[in-house]
Structure 1
């Protein structure tokens, strides 16, 4: 019967297999000699199971034989030397390869927050209280960011467990940070009358067709910026949304063009009939702009370019939006409120929420209803009228 112990004995041969009560696992351990400080270097692989489980013991013995063979070939890397920062870097190189640029950038930001706290700690030495410290110290960040930090840690350490670098996931049982009490939905949805007032003023400006499209299909402003002329098919009345622009072209938020926020964001939408002639007239206007600019025109193929053909930047568009908003006299709102307005008015008009979610590129109808749909004042008034007489 193997001797139960909390750790390896003081002296071992090239390698050994023993049961670790502390980890509730069988351990295959190989001795790599001494480091420059005279400290013993070892590699351990843990196999979850009871002390009496001979199948698990045999797995550990097979792993030890594999480690010894790898050591003889010089193919063995000591995972004890890997820090959390190094492991996160390796993990994200694998994980980010399948993500859009915006998601890669966000993961890198979260990794920097983590490595500032625990990046220098060796991966095999990390404990749950280290993870809890990271979550506790990130209170200054939004709840969504704190949740993403925990998700990244769980995923990175789960990969380390699957690759047998560590035996347990130290982030697995960390309680998710509690969300702050909701103070109501942010943003507004303009009424149909307010939209008409806005568009009446916007008609005087070059980007009037862009505003019409935004209110007609509820696309994100970054998606509209990234539209190409080839994405528009007026013959069959469809628009292909395959890209998105993020950032504001400054040092804080550099400009990036990616393949869409999510898989659901890459979609084909059917255009309402009343927006088709507006877009047809816009294509004619583009030809006039191209001729007027002459050699200064940059042929990049954007559907809504700047006056010289280059990508429309966010800040000039935002400035025009503010002018139109102020002149129209409607409630103050944001560019993203055009998206909320479309969703609210579309659902009010009888379009099924799941259909609206598809049109705007939401991955879940829950997002459409819980985060974007707004109850408007006249709906409450109509409800009161409808409910009159309910008591008999």
Structure 2
């Protein structure tokens, strides 16, 4: 059994916030899918998402029994497993929507690139823990970039530009907290910006079109620009109070594509309006604030780096997905944490929250 003193140190604000987002998610997923779900079970997606949410909370409870510091001992093994999973996708993975990202295990489709984000955070935290305050030259950071670059390239090969960009957000968030020389960091940013015109030639045609329609969706209004146009219509039509649950025309009449996954925030905007969307964003702000707070009070450098990586990942997801739905960010296929339907994404995010809770719970040395 868990020490009662440890349980008292749980971050109940974070727990309540995440549960609130998940409950809202189940309601919105039900609204988005109940008409178009094949078969007799109209709430199949809701039941599946809810079941995996409960299962993952049980996993979190088990995780709390173990000190997060033990993750450092398995970091190299996890990194190797990560590479094996990403390579497996290339050879036995299944394709959907123009990308080969999924592995089918019985009735469950798993997306290894989702799990790779958390594994990368753990592995990178282990590496940086030994190099904090020692990232002063290009020579110091090259091994770090190569370490992240290998899984980054494997994810790009799928192709999954969205997850690859998440890797970059995690990397820069963690090396900043690890004390990288500020001037060196600015030089790396500058080099990245200078490399963008060259990077353009490595993108797939559909990825180039997504960036093009971000600037002008009317370039391809019935193709690549269709998602953005319909999402903006849905959010705008919700106005202040929204049309009401199960009453959104863009979602219910199937005008809005991927309304239960990538574009679920547009459903929130249409059915719950500006006020409902603002409440959801406030919940995300609380969640991200708690993540940053936990990074600041962690008992050791490894815990700080873990919390920083998780907070960087979740922040990037929220900013890009909400921006994508509002038409101010390119469409990248990045899900909204705890809101978008998806077993792999939900599992990764909830396990990440479990690690945050573990770090906060052990922020002080407690005798067992």
Q: Is the helix fraction higher in 1 or 2?
A: 2
Normalising by structure 1, we get a TM-score of 0.23
Mark the structure with the bigger radius of gyration.
1
Q: Is the strand fraction higher in 1 or 2?
A: 1
